[in-house]
A and B are shown apart, each in its own frame.
Chain A
Amino acid sequence: MPLFFDINASNGVPVYEQVARQIVNAVASGGLAVGQMIPSVRETAKELAINPNTVARAYRSLQDEEILETVRGSGIAVAVAAKAKCKTLRGSVIRGRIADVIQDARQSQLSDDEIMKMLQAEMKRTNRSSNRSSNRSSNRPTNRPTKGKQ
């Protein structure tokens, strides 16, 4: 059962975090069902051609958050209470990204009003064009997300 992750090792987000986030997103959207087995570290690492320790780290962090659980004798599965948690987590990830954008905007000497206006205008615009392809340039800002060291 392949996971079809999209990994970019050089975009500034640690690879283990990318793996963890994508599992969280998959669980939140129902792509991974509660109780479903996920591929082993070795399988996932080989399939994505990424370092197995990185995959193990992602799995471990998700196990710590009780999104994944070890099923004795057969491997790792999505935990029972995972879906709600993942939705919350996804929310907080997106909140974090919005916070990054706000921080960048304030760095560029924009007032909060101006930021708000931009946000609303952007939402309107993407709403209109959502039938066509989503706006790529807004998905990939030239400045990568900051590291949250404030």
Chain B
Amino acid sequence: MSSTLIAHDSNPRSNVMWKRLLWKERRELTPVWMAIMLIGFFGLVMIAFQASSPEGKKEIVRTCLYSFTAILSATLAIVGFASESENETLGRLQNLPLHPRSVGGLKLVAGAIATLAGTLLLALLVPVLCSAFGFSLNPSQEPLPLLLLLVGSLLVYFIAAAIAMAYGSMGKSLFLVVALFLPFLFWLDSSHWHITEYLDGNFGFVLLIQLALGVVAGLISVVRLVPWVEGRGLNMRKVLGPAETTSSAGHLASVSASGAASGGAKIFWTCFFAARLLQVAFASLYAS
């Protein structure tokens, strides 16, 4: 992705430009990343240590791992997009001689990399530390869960980024973005509580496909929200309309709808929601 972005700017200084932009992203994301990683790391170990049976440990660590990575990716997205649009520094970047596509693209990629790195690190290090405490937890024996974890993180990241972009650019506070995002996070997370059942029942691929649909839908939404085209303002009020901005229940729908007036995202969102419904239906069948 970034190679095409660089190719767009014929500026001979583009190398320096990219380095400085990356430096800025790194400086902005690192403190948050470090904080959540530390909390997640020790939190997971603590939880694992307190669980009674080895099976219980395995189960609880796995589910908590999903929650922490979701929190990590959501926070990175919100810090990366909402804080900049809220403080209007995104406008400052737009005033620089570079294409808005470059700004948004670099931001999206930088955040996604930080998300994936954090997820991977947690997924690999927690079992190591757990084994130091005397119980084995090895996700590498199950390639699907790790893949699920990574795709799930990306999904949360893209959707959170879309929400953060939309609400941040309307001048809403970071807290509001977080508050609006929490119900969705829980809803998304709830499926992970049953993840072992699906894995045992070979439903993992269904979940993976479903998450992948969500990732594409979320990605398209963010892409539509970033003012990629030069001369398109960041003002989401124009897109969403003032009525939409106050309804918290419809936040996801409005974001996804506004994120793509085009058909692409709509199709993917529909598929994603249909898959979720199917999953719920299967889960209730499975339980009965």
Q: Does a CB–CB distance below 8 Å link A and B in the complex?
A: no
Binding site for B on A (CB under 8 A): none
B residues at A contact (CB < 8 Å): none
